Structure 1
Amino acid sequence: MRRRQLMGGLAMASAGVSLHRPGLGAQVQPPRLPPRLKAGDEVGIVSPAGATFEPDRLDLVVDAVSALGFVPRVAPHALARYGYLAGTDAERAADLNAMFANPAIRALLPVRGDWGSARILPYLDYATIRANPKVLIGFSDISALLLGIHAQTGLVTFHGPHGITPWRGDQVELLRRVLMAGEALTYRNPLLGADQDRLMRDQGRILTLTAGQATGSLIGGNLSVISGIVGSPYLPDTTGAILFLEDVGEPPYRVDRMLTQLKLAGVLDGLAGFVFGQCTACGPGAGYGSLTLADILRDHIQPLGIPAYAGAWIGHVEPLWTLPIGLPVRIDASAGTIEMRSPAVL
């Protein structure tokens, strides 16, 4: 995801937000669990990032929310447009603030990602969000919201489907088990297609970088997005955390550059464990002598000496897992598993 916009220090200062030293992230907030969802709950449909240019895309999200057994409530600016953004920063932030303030709304579901979530972080009402914990779920560019809100409020957020993702049955099952049944799941890569009838696995293989098990709060999301909020108060402190990363459409040298940025900023210091998901369309292409993704991960992660593996089924893939940001998990870098240590909802 080729995003280069960074929130400027002057913009944060004008919004009354104190800056933290680069790499240290926000102060640790105690985890706050949202109430579990149940059939008939109202779900707010918001557009915090990219514009939805075709109205029928929004109709699809409304249909999906209804099919899940919830009542859809569309935010006023869901179809707004300011260039490639779904309205101005003020409009997009106002929709999220209103949804969190509305006691009838039990969850927020973004229509899509693209770019723009980081721009509204200084304009969110974190006191209201803290006082009204709700399910917030999404991935890709929505990582900025998931991490920023968790950093500022302690609310456990969810890396999972957003509105226009294909709502496959296996994806829906995971969401229901985590957000409605309150189960503590163990995630391992699924067997897909022909692999179900083969002696060996072709898709979804894992690469153990450093064997072992580790426990810590799960923090992570899209690598490009995370690298764009390094040094801000919207990246949680990663000390003692399990960091997971994923991306799409990035050549190896860009992945290398972003991981180097995290390393130089101190984000990788003090991690308990590391998981790299899928990096779709991130191969070296025809570039002679390019480092591979595996080379880059070995260079940056193996020297940390912590349990770490790559190839987890996290990213721009199907089915999307529903993973709790800020909740303690245990990873096994040899087995390629992520185990929730407790339910993520009340």
Structure 2
Amino acid sequence: MAGLGALAAAPALPLFEAAAAPSAVAKRVAGPRLRPGDTIGLIEPASASDDPFDLTLVEEAVRAMGLVPKRAPNLAKRYGYLAGQDQERGSDITAMFADKDVRAIFAVRGGWGSARALPYVDWDIVRANPKFLLGFSDITALHMAIAAKGGAYTLHGPNAGSAWGKSSLASFKEIAFDGGTPLLVNPPANEDRLVQRRWRTVKIRGGKAQGRLLGGNLTVLTALAGTPYLPDFTGAILFLEDVDEAEYRIDRMLTQLGQAGVLKALAGVVFGQCTTCRDPDGSGPGGGFTLNSILRQHFGPLGIPAFEGSWFGHIADQFTIPQGVMAEIDADAGTLKIMEPAVT
């Protein structure tokens, strides 16, 4: 009975907006670039931080970039495994976009829960206050929703609570501070081998393609199919990454995206790092298919340039990739060229 009482006391999930076809292409703009001394809004739209000291480290990292951290009103709250109730997390997103002192917004961490907060975001305020959001993994839900609803270009890159190695920091600063349009090329692996083995890119189908960059975590993006928060991918370059997913689950998600019509609309595909994406005993339905084989099955027949192994995902360092800007991929060379600034 106690369990039933606790369940009854919990706030009900919202009546989500009805399932819909992918949103029409929303107008996107470039938000302001960062300058030393700018204020950064910190949000936790998904899982809660496990230790209060984690937030201290986040704030120290922001200050080390020459920026000033500002906590969202509900930061550090907890509701089960979430960083506060859905309404609170959605309200924090709105508040940081509305705050005129906040130049950009950093997600502290991913986990799970961003999608639950989306109905509680005031999208009119997001559109009226262009500034970029930074984060990856579960933050893909926010990236996709902003792309669908309209707003500033966002940045798929380290969460505020990530390790922030030198390479990650350099990639982020080139995009967010300098307004750069870099050619993203995987770094050489520091290993004692005759030929490089780590950080290699692998061509799925050769050629070059141009389009607007859209993507992020495969699991999170796929879960938005049929909702108002998935943008139109017509002519886009889709970039994907994932972690801890067996091969058959990658197959299942790509099957869903294909049957939902997302894949056939693309201009090109970049698959980044799939960290520990392997069925440990090969007993799952995908036993016998490698990740590369699955990617070839889904992307090869599209007849568009595609490659895997780009340097982003659940890894110690990664590229910062702006969402919504024009880019060009060269699948033979394994490169991604940003063609326009993500900030002004």
Please, which of 215, 238, 247 is the counterpart of residue 243 of structure 1?
238
For 1:1-346, what aligned pairs fall within 5 Å after superposition?
A: 11-13=15-17, 19-21=19-21, 25-194=22-191, 198-287=193-282, 289-346=287-344
Checking the alignment, whether the CA contact within 8 Å between 2:245 and 2:277 is kept in structure 1 is yes
Describe the superposition over 1:170-211 as per-residue Cα deviations: whole angstroms up to 9, x where unpaired. 1111111110111101111111321xx644111011110100
Q: Give the Cα separation in 1 of the matches to 2:47 and 2:174.
A: 29
3-state SS of the aligned residue for 2:69? strand
Q: 1:3: which partner in 2?
A: none
Range with bigger deviation, 69-78 or 146-155: 146-155
Q: In structure 1, give the amino acid aligned to 2:153.
A: V
Checking the alignment, whether the CA contact within 8 Å between 1:284 and 1:292 is kept in structure 2 is no
Describe the superposition over 1:247-306 as per-residue Cα deviations: whole angstroms up to 9, x where unpaired. 000010101001101011111012100111111001243316421101111111100000
Q: Give the Cα separation in 1 of the matches to 2:120 and 2:183.
A: 36
How far has the Cα of 1:19 moved from its partner?
4.4
Checking the alignment, whether the CA contact within 8 Å between 1:53 and 1:79 is kept in structure 2 is no
Q: 1:4: which partner in 2?
A: none
Q: Give the Cα separation in 1 of the matches to 2:278 and 2:14.
A: 37
Q: Give the Cα separation in 2 of the matches to 1:292 and 1:143.
A: 25
Runs of 4+ in 1 over 3 A off after TM superposition: none
Q: Give the Cα separation in 2 of the matches to 1:19 and 1:294.
A: 32
Q: Give the Cα separation in 1 of the matches to 2:193 and 2:39.
A: 43
Range with bigger deviation, 276-285 or 334-343: 276-285
Q: In structure 1, give the amino acid aligned to 2:341.
A: P
Q: In structure 2, give the amino acid aligned to 1:328.
A: M
3-state SS of the aligned residue for 1:319? coil
Q: Give the Cα separation in 2 of the matches to 1:11 and 1:319.
A: 39
Q: Give the Cα separation in 2 of the matches to 1:332 and 1:198.
A: 26
Q: Give the Cα separation in 2 of the matches to 1:190 and 1:276.
A: 16
The root-mean-square deviation of aligned C-alpha atoms, in Å, is: 1.4
Q: Give the Cα separation in 2 of the matches to 1:309 and 1:46.
A: 33
Checking the alignment, whether the CA contact within 8 Å between 1:252 and 1:290 is kept in structure 2 is no
How far has the Cα of 1:336 moved from its partner?
0.3
Q: 2:9: which partner in 1?
A: none
Q: Percent identity of the aligned residues?
A: 48
3-state SS of the aligned residue for 2:16? helix
Range with bigger deviation, 26-35 or 100-109: 26-35
Q: Give the Cα separation in 2 of the matches to 1:154 and 1:241.
A: 17
Scaled by the length of structure 2, the TM-score of the pair is 0.93
Q: Give the Cα separation in 2 of the matches to 1:286 and 1:116.
A: 30
Q: In structure 2, give the amino acid aligned to 1:251.
A: A
3-state SS of the aligned residue for 1:12? coil
